[in-house]
């Protein structure tokens, strides 16, 4: 075998290997495992935030049923601010004791383009979900959106708004 043929074979093997690694790191076309499991707070505190197989399956379900269809419809990136949280990570963050984030069933996100209201109403009117929460903000735009999806079971389609000032609670939207 000449050196050119050997070079082509090695290069092809490297490309295939790189492609396989990249595919393995993606939940969907536009969402990576890293972005739906990363927590800066928990990283700084040295808390492991690795989901188990059931949590990974649930994360994949919310990405494939809600987040990726939303991304495709909007045609722009979505910034995940909170996805999976291990129980220790959830405590550190101050999350709800029964948070769906610990099950891999919830995602909090923002719109880098600044039009979260458009995304909120798109989910509400077009996609399956368990809970959809307009988090803080004002009557025109939330500060972030919380959405949850149950892989198995009943998705309630519950739409809520977290009222300002903080501590005043959740109300039906």
SS3 132: strand
The H or E element spanning position 109 is: strand 106-110
Beta bridge partners of 57: none
Q: Which CATH class is domain 29-172?
A: alpha beta
Q: Is the pLDDT of residue 8 over 50?
A: no
What average pLDDT does range 149-168 have in this prediction? 86
Among residues 91, 89, 88, 84, the alpha carbon closest in space to that of 31 is found at: 84
Which band of pLDDT confidence, cut at 50, 70 and 90, is reported for residue 173? confident
pLDDT at 1: 52
Q: In the chain, what percentage of residues exceed pLDDT 70?
A: 84
pLDDT at 9: 42
Among residues 137, 99, 92, the alpha carbon closest in space to that of 117 is found at: 137
What average pLDDT does range 116-143 have in this prediction? 96
Q: In the chain, what percentage of residues exceed pLDDT 90?
A: 75
Residue 92: count other Cβ atoms within 10 Å of its Cβ.
Answer: 17
pTM, full prediction: 0.83
The predicted-structure confidence for 54-99, as pLDDT tens digits, reads as follows 999 999 999 999 999 999 999 999 999 999 999 999 999 999 999 9
User: Per-domain residue ranges for the chain?
Assistant: 29-172
Which band of pLDDT confidence, cut at 50, 70 and 90, is reported for residue 153? confident
């Amino acid at each position: 075998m000449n050196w050119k043929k050997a070079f082509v074979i090695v290069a092809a093997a490297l490309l295939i290997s790189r492609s396989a690694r990249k595919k393995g790191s993606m939940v969907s076309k536009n969402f990576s495992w890293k972005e739906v499991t990363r927590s800066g707070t928990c990283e700084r505190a040295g808390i492991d935030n690795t989901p188990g197989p059931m949590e990974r399956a649930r994360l994949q379900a919310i990405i494939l049923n809600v987040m990726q269809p939303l991304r495709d419809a909007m045609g722009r990136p979505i910034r995940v601010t909170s996805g999976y949280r291990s129980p220790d990570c959830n405590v550190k963050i101050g999350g709800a004791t029964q948070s769906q984030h610990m099950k891999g069933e919830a995602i909090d996100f923002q719109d880098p383009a600044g039009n979260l209201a458009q995304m909120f109403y798109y989910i509400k009117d077009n996609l399956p979900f368990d809970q959809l929460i307009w988090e803080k903000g004002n009557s025109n735009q939330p500060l972030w959106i919380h959405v949850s999806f149950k892989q198995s079971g009943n998705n309630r389609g519950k739409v809520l708004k977290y009222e300002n000032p903080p501590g005043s609670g959740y109300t039906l939207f």
